[in-house]
Amino acid sequence: MDLSIAALLAQDGITNGAIYALLALAIVLVFTVTRVIWIPSGEFLSYGTLTLAGLQLGKAPGTVGLLVALAIVAGIVEVASSWRRGELARLPWRLLLWVGIPLAIALVLARAAPLHWPFPLQVMLTLAAVTAMGPLQYRIVYQPLADASVLVLLIVSVAVHFVLTGLGLWFFGAEGSRTPAFSDASLQAGAVVFSAQSLLVVLASLLLIGVLYLFFGTTLYGKALRATAVNRIGARLVGISPSFAGTLTFALAALLCAFSGVLIGPITTVYYDSGFLVSLKGFVGAIIGGLVSYPLAAAGALLVGLLESFSSFWASAFKEVIVFTLIIPVLLWRSLAAHHHEEDE
């Protein structure tokens, strides 16, 4: 291996690592605020890529049907819970939120598809459509289980993963999609060639992470989510409702996954079920961060990306094995290093 190959592998690893980092951050965010181990994060990545691919082909993506279906289910859940609690007066407003907005996005998506909007608008529309599914998923599945144990939430997450994969096959079909590269340009620095594509992926990830950093560090809503993660009871006592925090969290997490779906589109062909493997790699990163630390999770995801790219050079048949075996020493290290917290579940 000479320098140029090493540089190429590193570049590849960092590019993939940046995408895994977004997923790792989404998984950490969801876990700290809602205690849900979010297995179905990968499906949101697949939906992101497949939605954008559909828009670029000029045909309505399966997201339209998916949004309509989720909106209908959310509407039924909302009517039932309002009825049970005798809060029918608030129902119209809630229906507007849970059914009206998703249906509006689905309508725009269906109408916009044949019009071949400019690329940035297609990306925005993709992000909006997939982000909307995050709160819908929370409203339908996790909000009614807000008081369940972490184990129950994990089991439910596995089920949701299978359901969403199935829905993905139903609405998007079995064919994979790949989106065109953002740019074919490349930069030469000595013996090393950087592709503009890789730089864009890394920069976009950094930009999104920066925006989230500002959101959590400076805005009241961002701080409210942090507060919920730090002290659930304290958060309720200042009036931050768990369902509010959960809805916002799942919107942000879905946005992160959709964004990584857009970024991964030109790198690899994405099928309805491709997201799972990618999200598992994000999950390894999140575990390195102990499911609580954002910087460690991002660094861990980067490590996963690098390890994957270098092992694909040396032992390509074992690349997944090597990546997932990483979790064993990490868990050992974490369990030895962890000072035991009092059990609060």
145 vs 203, beta carbon nearer another protein: 145
What whole-number distance in Å separates Cα of residue 154 and Cα of residue 268? 29
Nearest distance from residue 101's CB to another protein, in Å?
A: 20
Nearest distance from residue 86's CB to another protein, in Å?
A: 8
Q: In Å, how far are 42, 47, 50 from 264, measured between CA atoms? A: 12, 12, 11
What whole-number distance in Å separates Cα of residue 32 and Cα of residue 172? 32
61 vs 242, beta carbon nearer another protein: 242
Nearest distance from residue 245's CB to another protein, in Å?
A: 10
Nearest distance from residue 155's CB to another protein, in Å?
A: 24
Query: String of b and e for 74-111 (b: at least 16 CB within 10 Å)?
Result: bbebbbeebeeeeeeeeeeebbeebbebbbebbeebbe
SS3 186: strand
146 vs 155, beta carbon nearer another protein: 146
Contact present, 109 and 129 (Cβ < 8 Å): yes
Nearest distance from residue 227's CB to another protein, in Å?
A: 5
CA-based diameter of the chain, in Å?
A: 71
Nearest distance from residue 295's CB to another protein, in Å?
A: 14
Binding positions for another protein, rule: CB under 8 A? 85-86, 220, 223-224, 226-227, 230-231, 233-241, 244
227 vs 327, beta carbon nearer another protein: 227
Nearest distance from residue 226's CB to another protein, in Å?
A: 6
What whole-number distance in Å separates Cα of residue 242 and Cα of residue 111? 35
- Among the listed residues 212, 52, 20, the one whose alpha carbon sits nearest the alpha carbon of residue 129: 52
233 vs 337, beta carbon nearer another protein: 233
Helices and strands (H, E) in the chain, number of each type: 15, 2
39 vs 224, beta carbon nearer another protein: 224
What whole-number distance in Å separates Cα of residue 254 and Cα of residue 128? 10
